[in-house]
């Protein structure tokens, strides 16, 4: 369909939405519960938003579930998150896959427990055929580490005379990122109110619209999500132009 054939509403639905799902710990504290409970309720929020993305026609939905820096947390919390990720996968993978959700892991498998690596492999092997929506799960992810790896791979290619230094373009760098071939996020949502990007998609968010809410991730509903989308639709994106 041509751009001019779309209605105003359709034209401005973001193709790619990324979310920093923050505030699980504060939510738990507020309710007098252990932090892991916040992560459990938070994980349960994902499905509703994914379904809303399908309904709206969002093509890529990227969620920040566990950063490389999150290893600094107490062992009990980290193992709780790992266990919950397994529960999330077992509950949601087949269900969402049957709706045309294609799962992608963004991040390194290094240091992850074997049962999580097994889940990632299974996901890649048995993924959806139809790709209505890419669900990118940033897990053991760090934007700086992603870029460092891209630099290492490019240096190796130069040293092996497979490419010249002058062949290193922005597209070439992009081809070594976990998100290769995908459009950059149009909209980045952060829940929990912090005004920072916490090492998320550093290259990809160069011109992304940012929307921050004080709502804690376990309270993030489809309604709040729609609020972010309608705010985005009113934004004027300039990409450095006038």
Active site residues: 22, 70
Q: How many CB atoms lie within 10 A of CB 160?
A: 8
Give the Cα separation of 136 and 240 in Å (integer): 28
Please choose which of ligand IPE, Mg ion, none residue 196 contacts, taking the beta carbon within 5 to 8 angstroms, the exact cut-off set by kind: ligand IPE
Please choose which of ligand IPE, Mg ion, none residue 64 contacts, taking the beta carbon within 5 to 8 angstroms, the exact cut-off set by kind: ligand IPE
Give the Cα separation of 173 and 160 in Å (integer): 17
> How, if at all, do strands 187-190 and 16-20 pair?
parallel
In 57-129, alpha helices (H): 75-97, 114-125
Closest residue to Mg ion: CB criterion: 22
Q: Minimal distance in Å, beta carbon 28 to Mg ion?
A: 11
Please choose which of Mg ion, ligand IPE, none residue 48 contacts, taking the beta carbon within 5 to 8 angstroms, the exact cut-off set by kind: none
Please choose which of Mg ion, ligand IPE, none residue 167 contacts, taking the beta carbon within 5 to 8 angstroms, the exact cut-off set by kind: none
Q: Minimal distance in Å, beta carbon 26 to Mg ion?
A: 8
Nearer to ligand IPE, 128 or 192 (CB): 192
Nearer to ligand IPE, 124 or 194 (CB): 194
Q: Minimal distance in Å, beta carbon 211 to ligand IPE?
A: 15
Q: Are 103 and 93 in contact (CB under 8 A)?
A: yes
Give the Cα separation of 48 and 51 in Å (integer): 5
Rg (CA), the chain: 19
Long-range contacts of 70-78 (CB under 8 A, 24+ apart): 71/111, 76/36, 77/35, 77/36, 77/39
Distance of CA 46 to the CA centre of its chain: 11
Closest residue to ligand IPE: CB criterion: 25
Please choose which of Mg ion, ligand IPE, none residue 67 contacts, taking the beta carbon within 5 to 8 angstroms, the exact cut-off set by kind: ligand IPE
**Residue among 235, 171, 205 nearest 18 (CA):** 205
Q: Which residues bind Mg ion (CB under 5 A)?
A: 22
Q: Minimal distance in Å, beta carbon 22 to Mg ion?
A: 4
Q: Which residues bind ligand IPE (CB under 6 A)?
A: 20-26, 64-67, 70, 81, 192, 194, 196, 198
In the chain, alpha helices (H): 8-11, 24-30, 35-56, 75-97, 114-125, 143-159, 170-174, 222-234
Q: Minimal distance in Å, beta carbon 73 to ligand IPE?
A: 8
């Amino acid at each position: 369909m041509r751009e001019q054939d779309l209605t105003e509403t359709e034209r401005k639905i973001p193709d790619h939405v990324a979310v920093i799902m923050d505030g699980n710990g504060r939510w738990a504290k507020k309710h007098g519960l252990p932090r892991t409970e916040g992560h459990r309720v938070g994980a349960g929020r994902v499905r509703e938003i994914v379904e809303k993305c399908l309904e709206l026609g969002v093509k890529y939905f990227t969620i920040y579930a566990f950063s490389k820096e999150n290893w600094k947390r107490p062992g009990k919390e980290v193992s709780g998150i790992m266990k919950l990720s397994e529960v999330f996968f077992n509950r949601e993978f087949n269900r969402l896959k049957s709706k045309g959700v294609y799962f992608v892991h963004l991040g390194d498998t290094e240091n992850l427990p074997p049962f999580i690596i097994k889940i990632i492999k299974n996901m890649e092997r048995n993924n959806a055929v139809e790709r209505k929506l890419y669900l990118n799960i940033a897990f053991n992810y760090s934007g700086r580490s992603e870029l460092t790896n891209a630099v290492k791979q490019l240096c190796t290619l130069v040293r092996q005379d497979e490419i010249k230094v002058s062949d290193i373009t922005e597209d070439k760098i992009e081809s070594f990122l976990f998100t290769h071939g995908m459009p950059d996020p149009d909209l980045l949502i952060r829940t929990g109110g912090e005004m920072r990007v916490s090492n998320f998609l550093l290259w990809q968010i160069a011109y992304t619209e940012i929307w921050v809410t004080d709502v804690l991730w376990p309270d993030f509903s489809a309604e709040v999500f729609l609020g972010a989308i309608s705010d985005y639709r009113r934004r004027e994106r300039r990409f450095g132009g006038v």
